[in-house]
Amino acid sequence: MKFTNLTTTVFLILALAFPAVAQEKKVEASTPASKGTSDKMDLKKLEDKYWSSKDDDYGVIQNRTFAKTGRIYGSAVYGPLINDPFAKGRAAGAMIGYYLNEDFGVEFSYLSYSTSKNDTVAEYESLQNPAFMVSPNYNLVKATKALSLTYTPFYAKMAFMNKAIMYFDMGFTLGAGLTDYEQQKISKDGGGVKTQTNEMASSPHFEIGVMQQLFLNQSFAFRLDIKNSFYTQTVKQYEIGNAALESTRSETSKSINDTTITFGLTVFFTK
């Protein structure tokens, strides 16, 4: 009897344990064998891969509609001198350059200025008695020559009135050169008769600028430049006494910032 009860108890324990063991094996079978073989996506690894450095040859725009690399160009430009306190005038000139690649190039520029005293100086002189007329000491810029490095990091396209797509780039210039200017001065003889005795002088300058080109086709583009040049002028006394020697004319040095805006047309020559 005791044996029968023991047998029954063992049987019941096995019967209850078997489903639990089977369920455990089923769960284990549905669980990945190890963490290393998990089918879950590792978002951190995906993010690191996305932000990792790309191939050195990769570029945002790999096929430009209007390529500049290895091309020689020439620009004819015209525009005003805008910030001289004593002068007004216009500049006309040309730029000739070469693009080493799409971003960098070298350029030589020449601007010739047609300048004269501005309305402020003319008004000041008109308010005085002609016998005692004096004028501020000033110079007139006449020409600039410069060699520059160009850098054009911006290239884009835009819609024009939903009729056409226009391509343009924008960049910067950094250069150095020479500015020619005319020193304004008069001399008087013993009778007080005045004679204009202006002299030409030159000074080295450095310049920075912003430029933008709007491409018409592979060969032509409109061009806009804003150039700032910095240099030192020697300013001579405008008027001295009757029959005074030139050596008695005083002079000072003055820091100058000339700003010129020019607009023109660029021609690109084939490689």
pTM equals 0.73
The rounded distance, in Å, linking the Cα atoms of 256 and 230 is 6
Q: How high is the pLDDT of residue 194?
A: 86
The reply to whether CATH 2.40.160.20 applies to domain 65-127+141-181+200-231+256-268 is yes
pLDDT value of residue 5? 53
Please answer whether residues 249 and 185 qualify as being in contact, where contact means their C-beta atoms are separated by less than 8 angstroms.
yes
pLDDT in the model for residue 171: 96
Calpha distance 219→101 (Å, rounded): 17
Helix H, strand E, coil C: the string for the chain is: CHHHHHHHHHHHHHHHHHHHHHHHHHHHHHCCCCHHHCCCCCHHHHHHHHHCCCCCCCCCCCCCCCCCCCCEEEEEEEEEECCCCCEEEEEEEEEEEEECCCCEEEEEEEEEEEEEECHHHHHHHHCCCHHHCCCCCCEEEEEEEEEEEEEEEEEEEEEECCCEEEEEEEEEEEEEEEEEEEECCEEECCCCCEEECCEEEEEEEEEEEEEEEEECCCCEEEEEEEEEEEEEEEEECCEEEECCCHHHCCEEEEEEEEEEEEEEEEEECCC
How much is the pLDDT for 3?
A: 45
Q: 203: Cβ–Cβ under 8 A, 6 or more apart, which residues?
A: 178, 179, 181, 231, 232, 233, 234
The conformational region for residue 243 under phi > 0 = left, psi -120 to 50 = alpha, else beta, is left
Distance CA 238, CA 184 (A): 6
Sequential pLDDT tens for the chain (271 residues): 544 454 555 455 555 554 544 444 444 444 454 454 555 667 777 666 666 655 555 455 556 788 899 999 999 999 999 999 999 999 999 999 999 999 999 999 999 999 999 998 888 877 766 555 567 899 999 999 999 999 999 988 888 888 888 899 999 999 999 999 999 999 988 888 889 999 999 999 999 999 999 999 999 999 999 999 999 999 999 988 888 888 899 999 999 999 999 999 999 998 7
Look at the block and give the residue holding tokens 């001295």. 240
Phi and psi torsions of 83, nearest 5°: -130, 15
Q: Where are the domains of the chain?
A: 65-127+141-181+200-231+256-268
Pairing status of strand 186-188 against strand 239-242: parallel
